[in-house]
Amino acid sequence: MAMGNDDFSRYLMDRIRLLEERNSLLLEQANKIEIEKRFSESQKLKFERELRQLKSELERLKTPPLVVGTVVDVLNNGRIVIRSSTGPQFVVGSSQFINSPELMAGVRVSLNYQSLAVVDILPSSRDPFVNAMEVIDSPEITYSEIGGLDEQIREVRETVELPLTKPEIFQRIGIEPPKGVLLFGAPGTGKTLLAKAVANETKATFIRIVGSELVQKYIGEGARIVRDLFKMAKEKAPTIIFIDELDSIGAKRLDTATSGDREVQRTLMQLLSEMDGFNNRGNIRIIAATNRPDILDSALLRPGRFDRFIMIPMPNKDARALILKIHSRKMKLSDDVDFDKLSALTDGANGSDLKAIVMEAGMLAVREERYNICIDDFQKAIKKLLTPTTKQNLHSEGMFA
């Protein structure tokens, strides 16, 4: 049966619709496949990235540990003196990738564990300036808490306190007050205490810095710390700068300079130039303490530097009684406590020992849950803390030990 024209064109239309539907289905499928393809590609990239990370993590875990050290000195031939974190010093080389100007004394570095060559420069974990000093806005120590040093207190008041509180007196008379006062004497005799009391009396900021720490703990930072110390003292003025163990940075200079000596010298030179750079009549006063005045460099003792010396003696019998009394002022004592009698038993003890004796006597009473401290507690404490062997341990060596 022959197909009419109309039928044929309807057939064609149907056919076209069918093909169009098929076509759009195929397009849809192609789109879907395209999306899946892109998804798979991104997954592939993601897994490749993870693989790389895991590989580098594995590498990191497999690499030997690096040793941490501190640069002590950089020698002219490019070799570096380092102190390893375990203590000993070594002369080592460094990796060519290190930025050599950054390699200077005091910088923390990581070292190859076999050759100890410097591999990397580590960021500084702390600011040595902040750690190196004790800053008290106005210490709470008063002169009445210092036993047996009346004459020394009078001298310190004249030389340190008066220029701060009444500078006009010096101006009127036409004399320059001393810039620096040197307290010398055995350890534990109240030198720090005296400096704190002056700061309290003059409402000055008290900044304490320890010479031995500057050159042993903060290697390479000594000169910078001294510079920053004076800057801070100016900002916080009036200020009492207290330099403890001055002999560690101010010992006589020798010709045969090792790198350690050079470090000490840099710190000392900085201190001298800072002292020369400030005004005698200003409101910064320097007190230094040492128990080895005999080894100090004469440059430090010239006029305009540490030109006043005050000897802080070991306490005599009366002073010892007074110091025992001062430290037990806030304690409950029984009537039998006689400080003169106790003082006679503490020959050779310094202020610090006497304070320890009072504390120990107090602890004995606490241990026995008593309400007050009796003379027997003090006697036991003296026996315990002042036996010849403990005395040896208590007192460090030095000229006055």
Q: How far is the CB of 186 from ligand ATP (least distance, A)?
A: 7
- CB 382 to ligand ATP: min, Å: 16
Distance of alpha carbon 353 from alpha carbon 375, whole angstroms: 17
Asked whether the beta carbons of 286 and 180 are under 8 A apart, the reply is: yes
Rounded CA-CA distance 245/248 in Å is 6
**What are 24's two structure tokens?**
């759009």
| Nearest-approach distance from CB 127 to ligand ATP, in angstroms | 24
Name the residue nearer to ligand ATP (CB basis): 193 or 233.
193
Closer by beta carbon to ligand ATP, 187 or else 250: 187
Shortest gap between Cβ of 62 and ligand ATP (angstroms)?
A: 50
Length of the chain as a residue count: 401
Dihedrals φ, ψ of 249, to 5°?
Answer: -110, -10
The C-alpha atoms of residue 108 and residue 124 are separated, in whole angstroms, by 7
CB 207 within 8 A of CB 240: yes
| Cα 142 from Cα 202, distance rounded (Å) | 11
Question: In the 8-state DSSP scheme, what is residue 158?
Answer: I
Q: If you search the block for the tokens 């009537």, which residue do you land on?
A: 335
How far is CA 360 from each of CA 171, 326, 341, 365, 372, rounded to the nearest angstrom? 50, 15, 18, 9, 13
**Of 42 and 396, CB closest to ligand ATP:** 396
Q: Which two tokens stand for residue 209?
A: 């810095």
User: Taking the complex as a whole, how short is the minimal distance between the CB of residue 289 and ligand ATP, in angstroms?
Assistant: 6
Nearer to ligand ATP, 116 or 312 (CB): 312
Task: Give the residue nearest to ligand ATP (CB).
Answer: 351
Nearest distance from C-beta of residue 290 to ligand ATP, angstroms: 8
If the CB atoms of residues 70 and 189 are measured against ligand ATP, the closer one turns out to be 189
Spatial CA neighbour of 186 closest among 399, 346, 391? 399
Closer residue to ligand ATP, CB minimum distance, 266 or 285: 285
Question: Which of 275, 356 has the CB closer to ligand ATP?
Answer: 356
Q: Which is nearer to ligand ATP, 192 or 202 (CB)?
A: 192
Residues that bind ligand ATP (CB under 6 A): 146-149, 187-193, 244, 289, 291, 323, 326, 351-352, 355
Tokens standing for residue 264: 């000490």
Least distance CB 340 / ligand ATP (angstroms): 17
Q: Cα separations (Å) of 271 from 127, 147, 169, 214, 257?
A: 20, 32, 28, 12, 19
Least CB distance to ligand ATP at residue 284 (A) = 20
> Which alpha helices (H) appear in 166-258, and where do they start and end?
167-173, 191-201, 211-216, 222-235, 247-250
